[in-house]
């Protein structure tokens, strides 16, 4: 959530920057500024009135002591009228604050100055590429056909048990899945991240803290009876560890990693681009989350992008990094880099990671702060990234490594899988 200070400091600059996200903020920003002015003038009037009430109330006792009962009763009557007026001021103040809050949570984060102009994914800027795109034979199969051929992922069984988007991994497919999770966690620990095992359900306060609520309410699975939400990513519970927490400057940065299953409704998803593992309602992912000082957060973002690059390189996959344009940037992000790997049988790039800096946007919602060297509290910056999401990594590994005699496993994964080929 943008701070009121940022908005009031330069409303027109806020409106201009949000336009890069194709968000028309003019009416909302001006209404917030007007509500804040109403709130401040009402608070001033209320403070003056309460001071007057206190002065008159103290005089009543003195008048009674002096035997001036009639005057005391008049003052008491006047105090009663002033108290009724104060209730009106308090109601106006509360209403202005509630309206202002409702508007503030609808405003996206400001994009970083380096975010390119653009309306959608076709306008994202390619930052860097690596790896070699394999040349497959004419008989090469997409991963959903390979899954059936080698009996490693059963999509139809998943439909029977739960519905579309909930695959069942079997045999070497299940072992490869578990191997990827362990490999990613081990790499994260070697990079200095502390492993967290979080809950898979969160309350509404946690969803609000990281910005999924109210913006993406329709994309989350909600457990009505308990008013809990299935997590769309481990980012939500891990970042919320620091909700309403004041950290010490010496403890920053905080670097956490977590594996979790992730649940997303993905309403409206259909067509050839969502076949097989390309888009699921339940999938596995290893997440990295950092809490950092503002002046260090963009250097931290570079470190996280570099780290994710090492993962796709170790898996020997062709990859590219995209700097997301304003129109493709998420509601909460200030700057995001997407990683894509090339799926050779589908002949298309598949997103496998987003690495983002949210600056103080999430921290303001979370009230995640730290004490600086002057013992003043400051908002932290929060960052996170997929390191990595498994489904499309699995799809690319199966397709790119298929041979007439089976699917070869990248050398780095063999100690985890216990086998070097799926046949």
201 Cβ neighbours under 8 A, 6+ residues apart: 223, 226, 228, 229, 230, 231
335-343 and 319-323 beta bridge pairing: antiparallel
pLDDT for residue 269:
52
335-343 and 222-223 beta bridge pairing: unpaired
Tokens 């070869």 sit at which residue?
A: 408
The pTM is what? 0.93
CA dihedral 170, 171, 177, 182 (to 10 degrees): 140
pLDDT tens figures, 324-349: 999 999 999 999 999 999 999 999 99
% of the chain beyond a pLDDT of 90: 90
Residue 116 has pLDDT above 80, yes or no: yes
Q: Rounded distance, CA 225 to CA 214, Å?
A: 19
pLDDT for residue 355:
98
Query: Which DSSP state fits 123?
Result: G
348-357 and 381-389 beta bridge pairing: antiparallel
Q: Are 347 and 404 in contact (CB under 8 A)?
A: no
Q: Are 237 and 212 in contact (CB under 8 A)?
A: no
Q: 4-104 and 121-422 share one CATH topology?
A: no
Mean pLDDT of 215-232: 94
Two tokens, residue 371: 């004490």
CATH 3.30.300.180, applies to 4-104: no
| Confidence bin at 147 (pLDDT 50/70/90) | very high
CATH fold for domain 121-422: BirA Bifunctional Protein; domain 2 (3.30.930)
Q: Where are the domains of the chain?
A: 4-104, 121-422
Residue 272 has pLDDT above 80, yes or no: no
């Amino acid at each position: 959530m943008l701070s009121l200070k940022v908005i009031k400091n330069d409303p027109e600059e806020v409106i201009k920057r949000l336009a890069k996200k194709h968000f028309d903020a003019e009416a909302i920003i001006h209404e917030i500024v007007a509500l804040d002015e109403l709130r401040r003038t009402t608070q001033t009037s209320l403070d003056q009135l309460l001071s007057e009430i206190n002065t008159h109330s103290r005089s009543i006792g003195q008048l009674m002591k002096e035997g001036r009962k009639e005057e005391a009763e008049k003052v008491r009557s006047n105090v009663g009228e002033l108290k009724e007026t104060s209730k009106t001021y308090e109601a106006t103040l509360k209403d202005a604050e509630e309206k202002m809050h409702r508007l503030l949570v609808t405003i996206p984060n400001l994009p970083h100055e380096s975010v390119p102009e653009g309306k959608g994914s076709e306008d994202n800027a390619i930052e860097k590429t690596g790896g070699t795109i394999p040349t497959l034979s004419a008989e090469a199969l997409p991963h959903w056909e390979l899954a059936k051929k080698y009996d490693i992922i059963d999509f139809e069984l998943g439909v029977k048990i739960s519905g579309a988007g909930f695959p069942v991994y079997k045999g070497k497919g299940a072992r490869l899945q578990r191997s990827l999770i362990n490999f990613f966690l081990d790499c994260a620990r070697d990079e200095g991240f502390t492993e967290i095992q979080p809950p898979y359900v969160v309350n509404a306060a946690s969803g609000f803290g990281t910005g999924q609520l109210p913006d993406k309410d329709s994309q989350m699975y909600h457990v009505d009876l308990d008013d809990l939400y299935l997590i769309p990513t481990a980012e939500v519970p891990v970042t919320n560890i620091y909700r309403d927490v004041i950290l010490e400057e010496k403890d920053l940065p905080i670097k956490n990693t977590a594996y979790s299953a992730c649940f997303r409704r993905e309403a409206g998803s259909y067509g050839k681009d969502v076949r097989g593992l390309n888009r699921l309602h339940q999938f596995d992912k290893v997440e990295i989350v950092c809490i950092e000082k503002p002046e260090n957060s963009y250097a931290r973002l570079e470190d996280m992008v570099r780290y994710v690059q090492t993962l796709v390189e170790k898996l020997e996959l062709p990859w590219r990094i995209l700097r997301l344009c304003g129109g493709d940037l998420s509601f909460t992000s200030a700057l995001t880099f997407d990683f894509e790997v090339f799926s050779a049988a589908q002949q298309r790039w598949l997103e496998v990671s987003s690495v983002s800096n949210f600056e103080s946007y999430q921290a303001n919602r979370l009230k995640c702060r730290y004490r600086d060297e002057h013992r003043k509290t400051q908002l932290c910056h929060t960052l996170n990234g997929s390191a990595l999401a498994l489904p499309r990594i699995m799809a690319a590994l199966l397709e790119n490594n298929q041979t007439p005699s089976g699917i070869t496993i990248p050398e780095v994964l063999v100690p985890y899988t216990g086998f070097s080929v799926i046949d």
